[in-house]
Structure 1
Amino acid sequence: MTDPLLSKASINGISVPDSKLGRAITEFIRDTESELLFNHSSRVYFFGALAGQQRGLTFSAELLYAAAMFHDIGLMPSHSSQDLRFEVDGANAARDFLQGHGVDPSDIDKVWTGIALHTTPGIPEHMHPVIALTTAGVEMDVLGLTYGEYDDATREAVVAAFPRTPQFKEDIIQAFYDGIKHKPDTTFGNVKADVLADKDPHFHRGNFCSVIRCSRWKG
């Protein structure tokens, strides 16, 4: 696991929240997630916070940290339901955790929504900064969509603090697959159907038009 001292890294003035809640989040996720997902989620926080800095947005570092660190916990067996999207499992886990730490319900809603929508492109960017920046961090670390918006030194500093595995691209796809393969129906209409199609030659994705045509309505 990443050296705990690296969690104190400051990159362009961004650091992990050194508060009671921030420390509790770090401890909980470190104890619950794989090293792959812990480091990925930490990078999502930094890239999201740096994006907020670039865009001149005002946001709570604690809330963004909560959303980033919990966004993939629904992939872990300990927090994976049988019938909910993994994003919802993660959002629910964050909600329960934050409720236990006395966080304001309106702030919990922001974190919940940020996690629930992080695989739904085109919508979060128009919402509250915590929601928008959670997706921004994910899109940078997994998809590299904004790679050119970070200079080499910044990217290298984030990865030095929370390393990518040598084959991270394939490792994260495998982690997605392992976390959702038992509930393929939950990928209908979202990007994770692509993961199942990539890994399982027998997977048949749901079709929106077929649902319309097969409904009980006449005409």
Structure 2
Amino acid sequence: MTLNINGIRIPDSKMAREATELVRDTESELLFNHSSRVYYWGALAGKQRGLAVDSELLYIGCMFHDMGLTHDHCSCDKRFEVDGANAAREFLRQHTVSQADIDKVWTAIALHTTPGIPEFMDPVIALVTAGVEMDVLGINYQGYDDEQREAVVAAHPRTPQFKEDIISAFYDGVKGKPHTSFGNVKADVIADKQPGFDKGNFCSIIRGSRWAS
């Protein structure tokens, strides 16, 4: 049975079921369970903040947010967040979803590793990031009681070494296109796994541009 926490559960719709099946078949168990937990953390954060959110759109955003790390959806030239957003957009176009809602989900996924911006945007966008930040970084950990945390993790387990496992999953998804990590958090992941990696420097790019001054 689907986990139900304070009335929050995975939407019982054809689109949500198809999304669950697709993500489960595409992602590793690690990423599938992580994405599922992200949905619950995000939806619970919405309750904490008093936000009204479309649970289906939130679910799609959460479940697809790491699809860009997979072989099936990884491009050679785009940030993994954009690859995941594009995968979600393609999926949503197969259903009766408005372009405005597709754009919300696309933006939610594209911005989920860009802190300080999503929280001021549409609830779908804000809550995907909130869920990711809780599951990966432990942000607002204290905002969830023990019973909530234990129930979510029981339904969608964290591996015994989840912290290191998720870093490795991030690395595996971006190591083939390190140039896409410039200016975002994945540069830290590559630097962690590849000592001596040059992350690039914004100021150096400015000074090295073809402008005379």
Give the TM bin, normalised by the shorter chain: over 0.9
Secondary structure, in 3 states, of the residue corresponding to 2:114? coil
Superposition map of 1:35-74 within 5 A: 35-74=29-68
CA–CA separation in structure 2 for the residues paired with 1:200 and 1:63: 37
Deviation of 1:12 (Å): 1.5
Secondary structure, in 3 states, of the residue corresponding to 2:151? helix
Give the TM-score normalised by structure 2: 0.99
Deviation of 1:11 (Å): 1.1
Partner of 1:22: 16
Partner of 1:13: 7
Q: 1:203 aligns with which of 185, 189, 197?
A: 197
Deviation of 1:101 (Å): 1.4
Partner of 2:79: 85
Deviation of 1:145 (Å): 1.0
Q: Is structure 2 residue 139 aligned with structure 1 residue 126? A: no
Q: Is structure 2 residue 168 aligned with structure 1 residue 183? A: no
**Per-residue CA distance 1:50-81 (angstroms, 9 max, x = gap):** 00011110010000000000000000011000
Q: Is structure 2 residue 157 aligned with structure 1 residue 160? A: no
CA–CA separation in structure 2 for the residues paired with 1:13 and 1:208: 46
Task: Please identify runs of 4+ aligned residues in structure 1 that moved more than 4 A.
Answer: none
Partner of 1:117: 111
- Letter matched to residue 5 of structure 2: I
CA–CA separation in structure 2 for the residues paired with 1:217 and 1:63: 44
Deviation of 1:153 (Å): 0.6
CA–CA separation in structure 2 for the residues paired with 1:192 and 1:161: 28
Partner of 2:187: 193
Q: 2:144 aligns with which of 141, 150, 157?
A: 150
Deviation of 1:179 (Å): 0.2
- Letter matched to residue 17 of structure 2: R
- Letter matched to residue 173 of structure 2: G
- Letter matched to residue 106 of structure 1: A
Deviation of 1:160 (Å): 0.5
Deviation of 1:95 (Å): 0.1
Partner of 1:76: 70
Query: What is the identity percentage for the equivalent residue pairs of Structure 1 and Structure 2?
Result: 71
CA–CA separation in structure 2 for the residues paired with 1:168 and 1:12: 26
Deviation of 1:33 (Å): 0.5
Pairwise CA RMSD: 0.6
Unaligned runs of 5+ in 2: none
Secondary structure, in 3 states, of the residue corresponding to 1:196? helix
Q: Is structure 2 residue 90 aligned with structure 1 residue 96? A: yes
- Letter matched to residue 60 of structure 1: D
Deviation of 1:102 (Å): 2.4
**Per-residue CA distance 1:73-117 (angstroms, 9 max, x = gap):** 000011000010000000000000000112111000000000000
Q: 1:169 aligns with which of 163, 167, 173?
A: 163
CA–CA separation in structure 1 for the residues paired with 2:24 and 2:98: 24
**Per-residue CA distance 1:184-207 (angstroms, 9 max, x = gap):** 010111111100010011311010
**Per-residue CA distance 1:139-179 (angstroms, 9 max, x = gap):** 00000011011011100011011000000000000000000
Unaligned runs of 5+ in 1: none
Secondary structure, in 3 states, of the residue corresponding to 1:47? helix
